Structure 1
Amino acid sequence: MNCSPGIHGQAGTMHGGCGCNCGCGSKKRTGQEGGKKGELSSSGRFHPVVGVYMITETLMELVLKRYGLNFEAGDCVMLSAGPYAQARPYSIASGIHDDHLRFLIRLVPEGQVTSFLKALKPGDTVFVSAPFGWFHPGVGLDAPFAFVATGTGIAPFLSYCRSYPERAPEYCLYGVRHLHDAWGADELARKTRLMLAVSREKRADVFYGRVTDLIPQIELQTGMHFFLCGLDTMIDEVADRLEARGVPAANIHWEVFFHAQPNQNEANCS
C-alpha cells in the first residue's frame, strides 16, 4: 500500500488500499510529492492470527493478537509472511486500547500479499512492522471535525471512534457500492452522526448515490476540519465542494486509499 496523506492543495505520500506506486496520488491533489517522507522501520515481530472473517467476496477482516503494540489512530503497519517477504501496508482499524489488531482488507485478484492473508488460519502468524503514519484524524484537535470515507478508507476512522468515543466527530460520511460493504456502519451509528451513501443498490432506508452528494447536508461550524480517506476522485470532489462552501483548504486533510484508474501493482492498504 502507498500512503498519501496531506492537506487539500498540498501533496503527500500515498497510503491506502489502492493499486498504485508509492508517492502517487490523484492528479489534482497528489500529483507531486510534498514534505518529507516517513521512513518505514524494518523492525517488527510475528503476531498470531485470531481469525480471518470474510465480509464479502472481496472484503475481509483480519484479527491478530496485539502483543502490546503501541499505535495511534490512523497509523498503519506492513503485513507480510516474514521480515524479508513481500509486504504491503494496512491501516489499523482497532482502537488504541483494544486487545487485538484489526484490519479491513480489500482483496486484490492474484495479489501476493492479500492471497497470503486470505489463506491464514487461527494460530498462523503474520509479520507486523512497527507502526507508522502521518494521517491521525481528529487526534488532539481542539475544533469540530468530520470524517468522509469510501470503502476501506473507513479503517482509520473506525480506529479513531474506537479510541476516543468521548470526542466523536460531528459527522461521518461513508460511501460504499453495496450496503453489505459498509463494514462497521452499525458501530459508527452508535458513536457519531453517520450518513451512509450506497451507489449501486437502491434501498428505501439508505441514501442512494455517491458520498459527495451528502456534502450539502452537512451543517458547517466555525473552524470545522474535514478528514477524507478513500478514493482519489472522491477526495478531489469533496474538497472542491467544501471549499465552495467556504471551508479553508488548510482545514481539509486527506489520505488516498485507492485510485479510480486501475493499476497492475498490488497495494491494498487498510
Structure 2
Amino acid sequence: MLSETSAATVRATLPAVAASLDEITQRFYDRLFTAHPELLRELFNRGNQASGDQRRALAGSIAAFASHLVDRPDDRPDAMLARIAHKHASLGVTAEQYRTVHTHLSAAIAETLGDAVTPQVAAAWDEVYWLMADTLVSLEARLYARQGVEAGDVWRDWVVVDRAEQTADVTVFRLRPADGSPAPGFLPGQYVSVQTELPDGARQIRQYSLICAPGSDVLSIAVKRVRGERGPDGEVSAHLHTRVRAGDRLRVSAPYGDLVLDATDADTPLLLASAGIGVTPMAAMLQQLVAEGHRGPVTVVHGDRSPAAHALRADCDLLIGKLPEAVAHYWYEDPDLRERADGAATAVHTGLVDLTGIPLLPGVRAWLCGPLPFMRAVRGQLLARGVPASDVHYEVFGPDLWLGAS
C-alpha cells in the first residue's frame, strides 16, 4: 500500500519523472554496468541493451507501476508483476540484486532531475521502488520454492540429445538432464532460459518456450535464428544454430512463465493466436488440450512470412486434427502456392492476420504470442468484438515494451 503522503508526491511528480525516464534509465544502466560489468556479460541481454529495448522496457514498467499506485494506492498490478517475476526467476535474480538496482536507480534519478529531487520526493519514489521490489522478491521466492530450488539457483547442466532443422531459420533441440535426474515439471506455455558461453567469454541468457508435452525426461525447444533488422544478428541464436550439436552441454534453467492455459473448462471456446516463432507455446498448449480431451471449439490463428517459414506447422496440424471442434486459419505475407496444402479444417489466407469473418463464440478466451505489432492488432480486434480484456492473455519474447500501454 502506498502511503497517502507519498501518493500525493508521486502523483505531482509523475509527469516530470515520466518525461525523463529515458534519460534516467540510460544513466542507470551506465552506472550499473560501470560498477558491475559482469552483469552485462552474464545476466543482461547485450542485444537488448544495444537496441535500447531493455531501457524502454524498464521505463515502461516504472511508469506503469507508479501510475497504477497513484490511481489505486491499495492495489498492485498483479499480472504485470507476475510476468516480471517469472522472467526474473528464470534468470536466477536474487533479493540482493534489487538493492544494487536501487542504489544506481536512485542516483540516476537524482542526477537527471537535480534539485527537483527533494528529500520528500526521494522518499516517495523510494517507497514506490520498494513496494515493487519487495513484491517481486516475494513472488520470486514462491516460484523458486515451487521448483524446489534455492533463490537464484536455477541452473543445471543438460545434454543435447539431438537437433532437427524445422525451417531455414528454426531448429529444434531436444535436451536431457546431464545427471540423469527426471526433467522438472512444467505447464504448457512455459519457457526455460538457456545460458551459453560465447567466443568472447560472455555467458548470455535467452528464453525459449518448451514445445513438448509435460512428463517427458527429454524436453524440446525451438530456436529461431535472429537475423538483425535494427541491429546485429542474435548472438545466442546464431551460436546455438552454428555450434551446438548432439552431445554438447547447455546450462538450462527451471521452467517458468505465466502464459498458461489456466483451468479452462473442457467446453470453453478458445482462440490460440500466434505469429512467427510465437507458435512455440501454442504447440505445447495444443498438446495439453489433446491430452485433456478438450471438447469445446478451438480456433488456431497463425501469421507468417510464407509456408516455408512456418515452424511446427505439421505438428500443430496433427494436433488440431485430434480435437473434435478445432479449425486453423493461417495467413502468409508471401504465400508459395506450390506449398499450399489446406487441410479439411484449415483455411489459408494472404496478408496479415485479420479476424474479420472468423467466428468468435460467447465466452471465448484468447492466448496471443508473437511480435508486438501483431499482438496489438489482434488484441484490438478482439476487444472491438466484445471479448473482455481479462480474457485476452499474451506473451512477449524479449523485453515487454507493452507494459506501459496495455
TM-score (norm 2): 0.53
Q: Give the CA deviation at 1:151.
A: 0.8
1:102 partnered with 2:220:
yes
Distance, in Å, in 1 between the alignment partners of 2:398 and 2:154 is 26
- Match in the other structure for 1:264: none
Paired AA for residue 53 in structure 1: A
Cα RMSD between the aligned structures? 2.9
Identity, in percent, stands at 23
Choose between structure 1 and 2: higher strand proportion: 1
Matched-pair contact (CA < 8 Å) for 1:71–1:96: yes
> What SS class does the counterpart of residue 279 from structure 2 fall into?
helix
Distance, in Å, in 1 between the alignment partners of 2:211 and 2:319 is 15
- Match in the other structure for 1:208: 350
1:253 aligns with one of 393, 396, 404 = 393
1:128 partnered with 2:246:
no
1:162 partnered with 2:280:
no
> What SS class does the counterpart of residue 203 from structure 2 fall into?
coil
- Match in the other structure for 1:74: 189
Distance, in Å, in 2 between the alignment partners of 1:116 and 1:140 is 38
Question: Whose Rg is larger?
Answer: 2
Distance, in Å, in 2 between the alignment partners of 1:202 and 1:258 is 30
With CA pairs under 8 Å and 6+ residues apart, which has the higher RCO, 1 or 2? 1
Give 5+ residue unaligned stretches, structure 1: 1-17, 262-270
- Match in the other structure for 2:12: none
Distance, in Å, in 2 between the alignment partners of 1:251 and 1:63 is 33
1:144-177 deviation line (CA, Å, top 9, x unaligned): 2110000110111111112331227611101110
1:139 partnered with 2:254:
no
- 1:8-157 to structure 2, matched below 5 A, reads 20-21=53-54, 24=57, 32=64, 34-35=77-78, 36=81, 37-38=84-85, 39-40=88-89, 41=92, 42-65=153-176, 67-81=182-196, 85-109=203-227, 110-118=233-241, 119-136=243-260, 138-142=261-265, 143-157=268-282
1:200-241 deviation line (CA, Å, top 9, x unaligned): 225274321112x2x123222121111110011111111111
- Match in the other structure for 2:332: 198
Q: Give the CA deviation at 1:108.
A: 2.4
Paired residue total: 237
Distance, in Å, in 1 between the alignment partners of 2:284 and 2:56 is 24
Distance, in Å, in 1 between the alignment partners of 2:244 and 2:383 is 44
Distance, in Å, in 2 between the alignment partners of 1:53 and 1:21 is 31
Matched-pair contact (CA < 8 Å) for 1:150–1:231: yes
Choose between structure 1 and 2: higher helix proportion: 2
1:185 partnered with 2:327:
no
1:105-157 deviation line (CA, Å, top 9, x unaligned): 11124433223322111111111111111111x23212321100001101111
> What SS class does the counterpart of residue 167 from structure 1 fall into?
coil
> What SS class does the counterpart of residue 54 from structure 2 fall into?
coil
Distance, in Å, in 2 between the alignment partners of 1:48 and 1:171 is 36
Distance, in Å, in 1 between the alignment partners of 2:244 and 2:237 is 10
Give 5+ residue unaligned stretches, structure 2: 1-46, 66-76, 93-152, 228-232, 321-326, 341-347, 402-406
> What SS class does the counterpart of residue 56 from structure 1 fall into?
coil
Q: 1:58 to 1:185 in 2, by over 3 A?
A: closer
1:16-68 deviation line (CA, Å, top 9, x unaligned): xx96428839x9xxx84654231313322111101222233322212112542
